[in-house]
Amino acid sequence: MNRRADLPWWADYLLIPLLNLAAAFVLSAILLIAIGEDPLAAARIIVEGAFGQAEGLGYTLFYATNFIFTGLAFALAFHAGLFNIGAEGQAYVAGLGVALVCLYLDFLPRPLIFILAAIAAGAFGAAWAFVPGYLQAKRGSHVVITTIMFNFIASALIVYLLVNRLSPPGSMQPETRTFSPRARLPFLHDVLAALGPSISQSPLNVSFFWALICCVLFYILIWHTKLGYELRTLGANPMAAVYGAMSPPRLVMIAMMLSGCLAGFMALNEIMGSQHRMILDYTSGYGFVGIAVALMGRAHPIGIILAAVLFGALYQGGAELAFESPNITRDMIVLLQGLVIMMAGGLEHLFRPNIERLFAMRRPSIAGAR
């Protein structure tokens, strides 16, 4: 975070992300030309598929909901200087919590089911992130290593539970029974239909609004609470945190649990809002893409929403593209998405040094300037 000390905000928050995105698009275009496709036509199909009609838009926002949760999860830990690579596993375990509530407590009043499911999602995700947090805080085991390992443990645990414990008797499918309609989050098209306007069906459900509320809560926590101040201090200068009478181990554990909690909310969208049952590998990489979303969104809720919608559009528009052009297979789409993730996440610092040098040339002395 310190490294970007000397860029004006617009270069940091707009210019560099757009440059990275442009580079990804150029690379994608070269790839498409290489297999004999027209990149402009492909781009049109992606944009129309993602935003063209209500159905496509619904899918885009449905995917974006996942990315907002996992993006916020990574961003929160990032503010405290931690790399939580485990949103995938935390969301996976949170799916279990949601499923347990929806399977066994579905006799309760509906609002209560929703609240309990949200609590279970957050608590299971937080608990799964707590162990790596504790190990880093008290034993010095780096969270990058432990959270990755915990993804595998989560995967093994859920496979065991779905195969041996939670699948209904007589079923060969490694999944739970379908939740009763009472324990499902309302689809947005149903909500709107009840209010009057009718839109085409998509898995977009009310957890999208919870994602937006989480963005507001995230903003307040990070920039307008004392806990957020302490987390940011720890992330920016751990020595200053010790000097400022804070307890880094405590903050590390809190940051990891809050991060895991946010990742866990993704289960509300997928499990309770769309699948209506707990299935194997339902997280399918959303946790990892959340890293790119958070980095591209500069760990700020507004940026994360924009980046999440972009990735949602790539997922939805990409699916349309694979459907429309026989030459472009599903694997090709994954490759294109991978290019964007690579440029926005992995190579986030590719253009930064040059941009910084450019600005340093333009303004030889910035001391005292505003």
Partner 1 sequence: MDGRIASPGRRRIQPDAPAAIELRNIDKHFGSVHANRLVSLQIKQGTIHGIIGENGAGKSTLMSILYGFYRADAGEILINGSAVTIRSPAEAIALGIGMVHQHFMLVENFTVLENIVLGAEGGPILNRGLAEARTAVDTLKRDYGLDVPAGALISGLPVGLQQRVEILKALYRQAEILILDEPTGVLTPKEADHLFAVLRKLRDEGKTIILITHKLREVMAVTDSVSVMRKGELVKTLDTRSTTPAELAALMVGRSVNLSATKSHRKPGRCVLELREVSFTDAAGVERLKNVSFALHEGEILGVAGVAGNGQSELLEILSGMLRPTAGHIFLHGQSCLDLTARSLRRRGVAHVPEDRQHMGLVMSFEACENIILGYHDSSKYGAYGLLNRHAVIDDAKKKMHAYDVRPHLPLLRASLFSGGNQQKLVLAREIDQHPDVLIVGQPTRGVDIGAIEFIHQRLIELRDRGKAILLVSVELDEIRALSDRILTMCNGLVVGECTPAAAESAISLMMAGISPDKAA
Which of the residues 285 through 324 are near partner 1 (CB under 8 A)? none
Rounded to 5°, the CA angle 52-335-48 comes to 5
Smaller CB separation from partner 1, 175 or 230: 230
Rounded distance, CA 242 to CA 46, Å? 49
Q: How far is the CB of 292 from partner 1 (least distance, A)?
A: 23
Query: In which residue are the tokens 């993804």 written?
Result: 151
CB 80 within 8 A of CB 235: yes
Tokens for 145, please give them.
């290593």
Site mask for partner 1 (CB under 8 A), range 3-42, x = bound: --x-------------------------------------
Q: How far is the CB of 355 from partner 1 (least distance, A)?
A: 18
Rounded distance, CA 211 to CA 290, Å? 13
Which of the residues 329 through 368 are near partner 1 (CB under 8 A)? 366-368
Q: Which position among 229, 285, 306, 347 is part of the footprint of partner 1 (CB under 8 A)?
A: 229
Q: Which residues contact 42 (CB under 8 A, 6 or more apart)?
A: 32, 321, 325, 328
Rounded distance, CA 239 to CA 217, Å? 28
CB 325 within 8 A of CB 45: yes
* Closest of 130, 126, 146 to residue 249, by C-alpha: 130
Q: Which position among 33, 217, 227, 358 is part of the footprint of partner 1 (CB under 8 A)?
A: 227
Which of the residues 185 through 224 are near partner 1 (CB under 8 A)? 220, 223-224
Q: Which position among 9, 164, 196, 226 is part of the footprint of partner 1 (CB under 8 A)?
A: 226
Residues in the chain: 370
Q: Which position among 194, 239, 331, 361 is part of the footprint of partner 1 (CB under 8 A)?
A: 239
Q: How far is the CB of 225 from partner 1 (least distance, A)?
A: 5
Smaller CB separation from partner 1, 88 or 230: 230
- Interface residues with partner 1 (CB under 8 A) are 1-2, 5, 220, 223-230, 232-233, 236-237, 239-240, 242-247, 366-370
